[in-house]
Amino acid sequence: MKIVMLGAPGAGKGTQAKMIAAKYEVPHISTGDIFRANIKNGTELGRKAKEYMDQGLLVPDELTVDLVIDRLSQEDCKKGYILDGFPRTIPQAEALDAALAKRGEKMDYAIDVDVPDENIVNRMSGRRACTGCGATYHIVHNPSGKGDVCEVCGEVLVLRDDDKPETVQKRLTVYHDQTQPLIDYYTTQGILKAVDGTQDMNDVFTAITKILEA
């Protein structure tokens, strides 16, 4: 079960990816998590990635492709995996397909969590991230029980720069320019499946499991 999750930033594809990973016991591989870990640890990759992310821009291919391919070679990916945040562009998708083909493998599904831009701007401006452990909340849909501090570690919650409305709008523009073509790419391959991401989180998950178990 090799799955690519598609959808605009804030569409909820990361949440769905985690739920799928838990149900089917395969790793959830998020480039965002990899980048954030590098940023927190102050690595060279992290510093480079942060420069792009703070501006709402995509991290360049050369910083991501080798990193992801190496991750897919690890033991825990043998049963499958869910890619979240990669590929973001046609060249990345082609590089991924080429690397998998060398191993006699290919992607099984590309799942598009479809949400209109307006909904996404509203969703993301309500997000809050913990400055300590990185846990995320939402002031409407998933507030911290401790107000503006994290339930897990007690550190302060903040609106990240890349969740501010002006940055979100820029990220959406970049998404439509660079990532949306992947929908056509995977449609041509016959593996694209779209779900309505405006539904309740559990209803979206039910729709996805029906696709995977059809």
The set of catalytic residues is 13, 88, 127, 160, 171
Q: What are phi and psi of 139, to 5 degrees?
A: -65, -25
Strand, helix or coil at 128? strand
Place of tokens 């990916």: 77
Q: What are phi and psi of 46, to 5 degrees?
A: -60, -45
**Do the beta carbons of residue 87 and residue 35 sit within 8 Å?**
no
Number of helices (H), then strands (E), in the chain: 9, 8
CA distance 15 to 161: 20
